[in-house]
Amino acid sequence: MCGIIGIFSHKPVATEIYDGLIHLQHRGQDAAGILTYNKRFHLKKGSGFVRDIFDQQNISRLTGNWGIGHTRYPTNGSSHSVENAQPFMTNSPYGIAMVHNGNLTNYTELKDELEKEDRYHCNSESDLETIMNVFASKLDKLDPTNDIFENICQAVESVFDRAKGGYSVIGIIAGKGMIAFRDPHGIRPFVCGMRINPDETKDYIFSSENTMYYPLGFKYMGNVQPGEVIFINNDGEMRSRILRREKFTPCVFEYVYLSRPDSIINNVSVYRARLRMGQNLAKKWLREYPNIKPDVLIPVPFTSNTAALSAASVLGVRYTEGIYKNQFVGRTFIMPGQEKRRQSVLQKLSPQETEIKDKKVMLLDDSIVRGTTSREVVKLVKDAGAKEVYLISACPPVKYPDFYGIDIPTRSELIAHNKSIEEIREYIGCDILLYQDIEDLVEAITRYGEHNIDRPSMPCLDGIYITNDIDEKKLQELEDMRGANRV
């Protein structure tokens, strides 16, 4: 679920790329990088948080009016290697630099194919390097006297033909301009914006989310469409074309957990979608437990706060932030290792006993993936004196891995894969456990908005992989590869 940003401007962009990455920090804490172009590429990347990698000295040397940036959340390749941090670049043809958000299901096969047939070497474990090499290989074979946009379209078509999975890509072609394209299913989010300068010239921005648009002065234009390629030339002229489009299946987890609530993803407000998740979940509680009413409803902060607000309203229960979260501890979902996640839960969450003691407490969490956080939170609330603890999840049971850019690597890590609801409840230690239904989750996301969503991509919930290339053998192969990368 990495964060990506690209800006074409009529002024230097490095500081704005940095500011944009700060707004995308929640999408990746492992590494970050910025590349700018000013007759040559200027690159800085490193491990850790954005604020720890960049300082005034290295920002000042990132000159140019074209720039791309990335925050890394590893789903493929070692989480400890800076070699896997983006942006990536290649010298031929022209000089190409790219960032991406996503994951390929045929990464291993494509990497081998590139080395044997295209004679392009991949030096990292990153999916992006294979995408970039497929693009570069095709572009290199085309007549350079042709219209550059036509050649770019053919090169992107080659990526669509050969790279299977979910991906959004931003690139700079030296001396030519900036490109942006999105996989034909539109699995990973991709939005764009425009800023009109006092002299009527236009600047453009592409990114995973639009959270930085207002502070940077950009207006939200909408999405990069599934299967679309956009090109901005040296004069700032934009051209675009939808090359192909399959069934539009954006990732469901963007709405459940990953995106910031103030984002607009696929023309759907994440905040509003989460409010509707809370409404639907509360209505299910009233159907199944009409005679049980908690004293307070507490969100597991912070992603669950929005859904908890609306759920409390429907239930007629007092909403209270009875658990305090230390915001300086990273997101446990994207931390490597089960023990590290458990330790982080204990470090970042503390109960407010005045809101919990001697009360029947309903906890609302956005999702239950491994069960580690849920178990520790329930124990924390019971230790604070709760009479009973009910846990409700805005997301249905997570039963399968996701190979399109979400770090749910193996079925053995998923508590719902081979356990019943009652077995999960016993493990977590709550008195009642209630999950959202898949139909209610989809309804909450798609109820409003001119989104054109055919159905969300949710293989982690229903086992349906929209690229139609994952059978049991492939699933095991991908799990083994993910497991090896975690060691």
Region of 429 on the Ramachandran plot (φ > 0 left; ψ -120 to 50 alpha; else beta): left
Rg (CA), the chain: 23
The answer to the question of whether 306 is labelled as a binding residue is no
Tell me the CA distances in angstroms from 427 to 63, 290, 423, one per residue in order: 54, 25, 6
Between CA 260 and CA 270 the distance in angstroms is: 7
Note the helical H segments in 388-468. Answer: 421-428, 438-446, 459-462
Q: In one letter, which amino acid is 425?
A: R
Task: Tell me the torsion sign for CA atoms 337, 382, 327, 5.
Answer: positive
Active-site pick, 2, 122, 192, 251 = 2
Annotated catalytic residue 2: yes
Instruction: Report CA 233 to chain centroid distance, whole Å.
Output: 28
In terms of Cβ atoms closer than 10 Å to its own Cβ (0-12, 13-18, 19+), residue 447 is middle
For residue 84, give the DSSP letter.
Answer: G
The answer to the question of whether 446 is labelled as a binding residue is no
Between strands 238-242 and 318-319, the pairing is unpaired
Q: In one letter, which amino acid is 41?
A: F
The answer to the question of whether 365 is labelled as a binding residue is yes
Between CA 251 and CA 177 the distance in angstroms is: 29
Between strands 165-173 and 96-104, the pairing is antiparallel
| Residues labelled catalytic | 2
Binding residue positions for Mg(2+): 303, 365-366
Residue numbers belonging to the annotated binding site: 303, 365-366
